[in-house]
């Protein structure tokens, strides 16, 4: 995939190669579903949009997506603040941006294609909405409870702050298990996001975005379950006088 969009791209191919482009195109009222065979530059000109601005937004979105997928940084050696800011900026913000968009896409394919796959699409919608609700509550619990306690501990080494951060680990890990089970079920019932022959662009994009979200959540949960939480447990063990 190219890293510098210039307007010569066919809209449908652009979104197929880079699903995140759909958010930018939607914001500018560019039809990537029925109008997917048209060139981006032609549509920008026809709709009298600011060409430079649209292309800049697309390139920024692509760069942000690439940054979220970087795996070469060893977060085990980051400070608590660095790790927490990364989790919020790259993963929490991604979910807050993408979940409403994905929810709209799912609602659309249920409405349009529900008669073709009534049980499957109804189940996909129910599982997604359950996951969305659980993740929304989970992120609030972290950002308003655990994360501030961790940062307070990093700054003051207060045992009280550490105890507060440790107290909710089991609950947060249980949340992760619940989300993981939903992701497994979504992959199972969709046959690993296999597309029917008649799938339109919106249907295709919806499944692409579900799979993209799955990948992001895997990395997100990994950072918390395998790096952040164990480090806190080790702090407690090292502080123990028993």
Say if 166 falls within a structural domain: yes
Is residue 4 in some structural domain?
A: no
Q: Which of 32, 47, 68 is the last residue of a domain?
A: 68
Q: Are residues 84 and 64 in the same domain?
A: no
Per-residue pLDDT reduced to its tens digit, 210-240: 999 998 999 899 899 888 998 999 888 887 6
User: Do 148 and 119 belong to one domain?
Assistant: yes
pLDDT of 70 higher than 60: no
Q: Are 177 and 194 in contact (CB under 8 A)?
A: no
The least confident of 21-35, 131-145, 188-202, 222-236 is: 21-35
Distance (Å, whole) CA 31 – CA 43: 9
Q: What pLDDT is recorded for position 235?
A: 86
Is the pLDDT score of 242 beyond 70? no
User: 85 and 159: one domain?
Assistant: yes
Using 50, 70 and 90 to split pLDDT, how confident is the model at 129?
A: very high
Side-chain-side CA neighbours of residue 143 (13 Å): 14
Note the pLDDT tens digit of each residue in 164-186. Answer: 999 999 999 999 999 999 999 99
pLDDT for 67 equals: 73
Percent of the chain with pLDDT over 70: 94
CA–CA separation, 90 vs 12, rounded Å? 26
Which residue from 138, 30, 26 is spatially nearest to 87, judged by alpha carbons?
Answer: 138
31/90 same-domain check: no
| Digit-coded pLDDT (tens) for 50-60 | 999 999 999 99
Phi, psi of 10 (to 5 degrees): -75, 130
Residue 231 and residue 155 share a domain? yes
CA-wise closest residue to 63 among 21, 8, 93: 21
| Same-domain pairing of 132 and 30 | no
Please check whether residues 48 and 99 belong to one and the same domain: no
Boundary (domain end) residue, out of 68, 92, 108? 68
Both 54 and 114 in a single domain? no
What value does the CA radius of gyration of the chain take, rounded to a whole number of Å?
21
Q: Single out the residue in 26, 42, 68 at which a domain terminates.
A: 68
196, 107: one domain:
yes
The domain tally of the chain equals 2
For residue 2, being part of any structural domain is answered with no
- Are 38 and 102 contained in the same domain? no
pLDDT at 1 (0 to 100): 44
Are both 105 and 18 inside the same structural domain?
no
For residue 223, is it within any domain? yes
Domain that holds residue 38: 11-68
Residues 110, 68: Cα–Cα separation, whole Å: 29
Global confidence as pTM = 0.77
Could you read off the pLDDT of 84-119 as tens digits, one per residue? 999 999 999 999 999 999 999 999 999 999 999 999
Judge whether 134 lies within some domain.
yes
User: Could you tell me if residue 1 is inside a domain?
Assistant: no
CA geometry: angle 8, 94, 231, nearest 5 deg = 135
**Do residues 84 and 144 both lie within one domain?**
yes
């Amino acid at each position: 995939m190219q890293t510098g969009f210039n307007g010569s791209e066919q809209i449908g191919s652009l979104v197929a190669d880079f699903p995140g482009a759909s958010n930018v195109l939607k914001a500018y009222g560019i039809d990537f579903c029925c109008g997917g065979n048209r060139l981006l530059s032609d549509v920008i000109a026809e709709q009298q949009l600011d060409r430079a601005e649209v292309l800049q937004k697309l390139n920024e979105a692509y760069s942000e997506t690439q940054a979220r997928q970087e795996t070469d940084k060893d977060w085990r050696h980051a400070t608590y603040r660095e790790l927490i800011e990364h989790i919020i900026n790259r993963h929490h913000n991604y979910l807050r941006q993408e979940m409403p968009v994905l929810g709209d896409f799912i609602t659309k394919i249920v409405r349009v294609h529900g008669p073709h796959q009534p049980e499957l699409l109804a189940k996909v919608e129910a599982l997604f909405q359950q996951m969305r609700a659980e993740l929304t509550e989970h992120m609030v619990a972290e950002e308003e409870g655990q994360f501030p306690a961790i940062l307070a501990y990093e700054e003051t080494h207060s045992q009280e702050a550490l105890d507060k951060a440790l107290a909710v680990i089991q609950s947060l890990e249980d949340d992760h298990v619940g989300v993981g089970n939903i992701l497994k079920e979504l992959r199972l019932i969709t046959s690993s996001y296999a597309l029917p022959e008649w799938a339109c662009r919106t249907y295709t994009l919806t499944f692409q975005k579900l799979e993209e979200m799955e990948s992001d959540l895997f990395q997100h949960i990994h950072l918390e379950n395998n790096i952040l939480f164990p480090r806190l447990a080790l702090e407690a063990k090292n502080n123990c006088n028993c």
